Chains A and B, each alone.
Chain A
């Protein structure tokens, strides 16, 4: 599969470790940024390297990476990884007894119908240029930045338990950021699309339409007031629910964060949210940005139910957290690239659909706010979270009313998800990203939900 990695596994140095995991990766990133009609940047990045992780004395992991791929460099990196692992073996408190992996050879590919490599630079540049043209139709727009990004990965995973995985994936994204300005007022809006696959994504969502729609939002919101502040009943659109799910529930359900205590840490089997809520993570959702058939420890992805009808069922695990908590690895161990070690990450996290149409959700709200669009967010391991919405509308007696500009909402996931009293019947697949210690692209599969939340608006 990768001769140089196989040779590295057969060295005597490798036999000193309980387990050796080797990851070799070649990555090509192509970006094209159009700013205000100018192709400001066309870039091509070619990166490659090997990351080596070792476990020693059933206690301690070491990790070393190198961008020089020859036998000598790999042997050296392996030695360093072992040395690092041994450095803290005596200092560690807990032993790690991993469940043995099943020997396996797999070769998977998800490169899409129109792989980026087959497109010419001019064809690629047309994508953000089209988004710019769409946005430029809106007269209040003063700044438009549209960026096309493709990430083409070719990854090998080999370990000393005879697991050999080869995965090829393409991921394509388009980001549009707009600032509208009028009478000294400025308002931003942004949106992105992305999937695992090729450029066929732009057949479904034409860049021109995306650019125009973002620009129209920014222009319309110029006239909108700031939202009110305080605790409100809210209907959360999937574009924002994706962030809520990832930040508020997703992070506290990652075993490494859960095991720090707080949040959901010691509540397996308990009712932790409204009974309308079922949450899962699934690395097998094709086209999701988190489509990862095998994780970076060679574990096959699966659909993991995390919360079922409000009851906490399990966490997302890597092999270490599974061993420490007597669980099964869930295929959630991922590294952004070869140079960093894998961590527990979400893949495609989702909320199962409910029974409500958006209209039905609104109908039952006497006074509340409809929240839409995301500006990203953050979460703490105690399940406290905050994230931004791009736009909002008042709800009065079931009717949408005055439009508001964006602000942030905050709360504690455990408290907020107990207040969910309606879940939408149509879940959508959204692109997502995460910056937990290292970057990752992920998917979210989300419907609208209705709940109570603290809104940090500066309006009346």
Chain B
């Protein structure tokens, strides 16, 4: 198949280019390279809009001089000369860069065996199969009620080779599959249209669950009909896994990255060993999680994967590190170098991810340890508060300030859901919320780089009309 052929060709070109720079320029070299094939089916307005297939291969070189000046260049041209030229450009770019103290490439270590990274059945999935999955999800959603329309979504099957080769002895490669089903539905009643209600599956396995996702979406849409405005009040909020995975996780990641510590922008900079959150909160980064969507046996600079306890019952234990930050802060490398870091950075969006990007610190699977009760039990015990299923709006970097629109939320009184909320916002500081977590759900859900349950938080400010 094309993917394996492209991979073999690229690997040969990369090996030669690394050797060329090492020999001619007396510099340290690292090449991160991938070959990807991705089939995607797109849903729009209750119909299959299009389907596409992308074949892409490329390599990104980092070249470091003996003084720690680092340059980067990448190419997707599959020619030996073009690959060598990209390596040369990385060397040239290093001349303009400043010296970076403690810079290092990853050294060779034994890799753990991580199960469930590649489902070979993904190679047998045809575009007809992907269309069928999309249609089944749409039908399941629209079968829930005639007011539901599956308005948006996609099905993705991706197969990728990922490799890292450096002059410190690292030469690893790994095969991986990623399969995604994402569906958004909305509904209309009396000229009022609900916000988009979505469900998703992020999986390594090609066995997606379209009927389940479709039914969930249809049910969510119906629940959002006849919303009522909210009056401002302070009370308890139950954040569902989807709500947790967005703003709160983003604030957590920003505080936990060693790069934030080095830049002086993490409020937890001097808090290792101290209580920074409720004792109900335990956070682990685990890149060895079996079948985890962001699991891997080595990170994107070649460090060996591991599980790291970051917050243990509220007490900060570690930050997320790559090789250079671990050297700088004299900490253990947690193997969190990533070339597909999320977040709201426009420059990253312009550049793209994978071989197009330099590694930066980012979680693999950021796990919040689950509690004992499901979201429904937590809700049934709530006297006066809001169940937040999803929020929109970006949190403020560094400070942790969140003021988000309640895009799918419900007012809860005496254990009963009273009504969906229209025109509501939620406001506060996520670092305060982490201290005010009173209960943790047992309903953890996998997202692209987190596995998180519901969180019940006290004293949250709800903003209404």
- Show the binding face of A for B, using Cβ within 8 Å: 29, 31-33, 35-49, 60-68, 77, 80-81, 83-85, 87-88, 91-94, 121-122, 124-125, 142-143, 145, 147, 149, 151, 173, 175, 177, 179, 181, 184-188, 192, 226, 229-231, 256, 259-263, 265, 339-341, 375-378, 380-382, 384-388, 405-408, 410-412, 433, 435, 439, 441, 454-458
Contact = CB atoms under 8 A, between A and B. Distances in A.
Nearest to A144: B263
B265 interface: yes
B394 A388 contact: yes
Interface in B63-87: 70-78, 82, 86
Interface residues of B, number: 86
Interface of B: 6, 41, 44-58, 70-78, 82, 86, 89-90, 92-98, 100, 126-128, 131, 135, 149, 151-152, 186, 188, 193-196, 232, 263-265, 267, 344, 346-347, 349-351, 356, 358, 392-394, 396-399, 401, 403-405, 407, 423, 425-429, 461, 463, 465
Given A43-B72, A406-B396, A456-B404, A29 B351 contact: yes
Given A88-B48, A411-B423, A412-B423, A80 B74 contact: no
A87 B423 contact: no
A261 B149 CA distance: 10
Contacts of B267: 184, 186
A44 B404 contact: no
Contact of B53 (A32, A80, A411): A80
A456 B425 contact: yes
Given A45-B356, A81-B53, A410-B405, 20 more contacts: A40-B97, A41-B97, A41-B358, A42-B93, A43-B73, A43-B351, A43-B358, A45-B351, A47-B75, A61-B49, A65-B56, A67-B57, A83-B127, A121-B95, A187-B398, A265-B193, A380-B195, A388-B396, A454-B463, A457-B463
Given A41-B97, A67-B56, A80-B53, A377 B393 contact: yes
A31 B405 contact: no
Contacts of B264: 142-143, 179, 181
Interface centre among A122, A173, A186, A405 (most CB of B within 10 A): A186
A408 B52 contact: no
Interface residue SS majority, chain A: strand
Contacts of B54: 64-65, 339-340
A455 B461 CA distance: 13
A121 B96 contact: yes
Interface residue SS majority, chain B: mixed
A261 B401 contact: no
Contacts of A84: 50-53, 127
B188 A261 contact: yes
User: What are the 6 tightest A-B residue pairs by CB atom distance, in nearest-first order?
Assistant: A262-B193, A456-B403, A63-B52, A456-B425, A386-B405, A410-B405
A179 B50 contact: no
Nearest to B90: A44
A385 B393 CA distance: 9
Contacts of A45: 73-75, 351, 356
Nearest to A38: B98
Interface centre among B77, B349, B401 (most CB of A within 10 A): B401
Nearest to B79: A68
Nearest to A412: B423
A46 to B, nearest CB: 5
Contacts of A67: 55-58, 76-78
Nearest to B95: A121
B71 A42 contact: yes
19 contacts: A44-B73, A91-B135, A122-B96, A142-B263, A142-B265, A179-B263, A188-B397, A188-B399, A229-B403, A229-B463, A256-B44, A262-B193, A339-B54, A341-B52, A388-B403, A406-B401, A408-B403, A456-B405, A456-B427
A44 B49 CA distance: 35
A69 to B, nearest CB: 8
B27 to A, nearest CB: 15
Contacts of A31: 347, 350-351
B55 A66 contact: yes
Nearest to B77: A48
Contact of B193 (A231, A261, A377, A385): A261
Contacts of B96: 32, 39, 42, 121-122, 124-125
A47 B50 contact: no
A17 to B, nearest CB: 13
A458 B428 contact: yes
Contacts of B58: 47, 67
Contacts of B428: 458
A63 B53 CA distance: 6
Contact of A46 (B78, B86, B126): B86
A339 B56 contact: yes
Interface centre among B149, B152, B349 (most CB of A within 10 A): B349
Contacts of B396: 188, 375, 388, 406
Contacts of A229: 232, 403, 425, 427, 461, 463
A344 B447 CA distance: 28
A92 B346 contact: no
Given A63-B51, A179-B263, A458 B392 contact: no
Contacts of B82: 46
B7 to A, nearest CB: 13
A376 B394 contact: yes
B77 A380 contact: no
B259 to A, nearest CB: 9
A62 B393 contact: no
A32 B73 CA distance: 12
Given A45-B74, A142-B264, A408-B393, A92 B427 contact: no
B391 to A, nearest CB: 8
B152 A87 contact: no
A47 B135 contact: no
A382 B194 contact: yes
B399 A382 contact: no
B52 A46 contact: no
A37 B127 CA distance: 50
A31 B72 CA distance: 10
A88 B41 contact: yes
